[in-house]
Structures are given as C-alpha cells and as structure tokens.
Amino acid sequence: MKIIECDENRHSQAILNILNEVIATSTALYDYQPRTLETMKNWFETKRKAGYPVVGAEDSSGQLLGFASYGPFRAWPAYKYSVEHSVYVDSRFRGRGVGRLLLEQIIEAARRKDCHVLIGGIDTENKASIALHESLGFVHCATIRQVGFKFGRWLDLSFYQLILATPLHPMDR
C-alpha cells in the first residue's frame, strides 16, 4: 500500500464511488443523494484553491483503497487554525489499516500547514472510527444529540479533536 496525493483526473471516479457507497449504506456521511462527477470537480477545485490536501492509499496495481482530506471547521477568521477532516475507505478494504494510514497522513499534513486542532465529526454508533481516532490521540469533546435523520432514525454526532503543538507563533490576523 502506498500513499499518494489524489489527482482530480485520475481519482475522481474512485472517490465518487467510495462516497456514494457510504451515502447509500451508512451513517458515516449524513447525506441522502449520490454525488456526481460535477460535484467532484467542484470539490477538487475548492481543495486546490484553499491548499487543502487530498491523500489516497493505493494498492500495488494503482487501485484507490481510500482517501482523506480536511477543510475549514468554520468560516470565521478566528477558526483559521482549526480544520475538520474526513477519512473514507472503500468497503472492500476496511479493517486492513487503510484508515489509520490515511488519518496519520492527514495529521502530518495538518502539522506541516501549522494547523492547531483537527476535528472529526463521527456518528456516535461508528465504533470503529471512534476507536481509530482515540488510538491516535483524539479525545471526545462534544456530542450533539439527534442532529441528523437518516434511515428512519435520529442520529447523534460526536466530535473528536486532536490538539497539535503548531503553530509556533499564532497571530490574530
């Protein structure tokens, strides 16, 4: 397995397939409608313009096993050192360490960009993701009860955070 920087032309369809499977079968993403290739074009453009990483894990044949990224936590300037991350693994490859490898890469990318807090919003019933985050030092910081509704039931969203030692010299502006 190798880590790569995802490329829009090469990886959009594979990322789209992973996201749409997650939307259709799980509460890992609180969305109802499948995404489109046009959605992926806009997603990659937004990431590129903001300088946010999109990393992937590939097998020896170049098949994308999963991907991870981060983006803004909230839009106001004082949140500039906090990011919310996402990690998604193709269902055929879960439980093989792909998610851990991707999350480790995102943590390092955040350090290099002088982020201070990584935040993961995780469905409270997603015990595997919670365990992964906790094993890498994330701590539970909040749960919003019944914030989502999917598959005929209310969903609770838990937030986990990892505080980094960066930046060395934060500024108000």
Please state the CATH superfamily assignment of the domain spanning residues 2-163 in this structure.
Gcn5-related N-acetyltransferase (GNAT) (3.40.630.30)
Sign of the alpha-carbon dihedral angle for 104, 99, 134, 167: positive
Q: Determine the distance from the C-alpha atom of residue 46 to the mean position of all C-alpha atoms in its chain, rounded to a whole number.
A: 15
Report the first-to-last Cα separation within the chain, whole angstroms.
40
129 within 8 A of 173, measured Cβ to Cβ? no
Mean pLDDT of the chain: 96
pLDDT digits (tens, 9 = 90+) for 103-136: 999 999 999 999 999 999 999 999 999 999 999 9
pTM: 0.94
- Average pLDDT of the segment spanning 90-102: 95
17's enclosing H/E stretch is helix 8-25
Over residues 6-31, mean pLDDT: 96
Digit-coded pLDDT (tens) for 50-77: 999 999 999 999 999 999 999 999 999 9
* 26 burial via Cβ count (<10 Å: 0-12, 13-18, 19+): middle
Burial grade of 28 (CB within 10 A; 0-12, 13-18, 19 or more): buried
- Around Cβ 148, how many Cβ atoms within 10 Å? 14
Domain ranges across the chain? 2-163
Q: Is the pLDDT of residue 173 over 90?
A: no
User: Contact at 8 Å (CB) between 107 and 120?
Assistant: no
* pLDDT tens, residue by residue, 76-87: 999 999 999 999
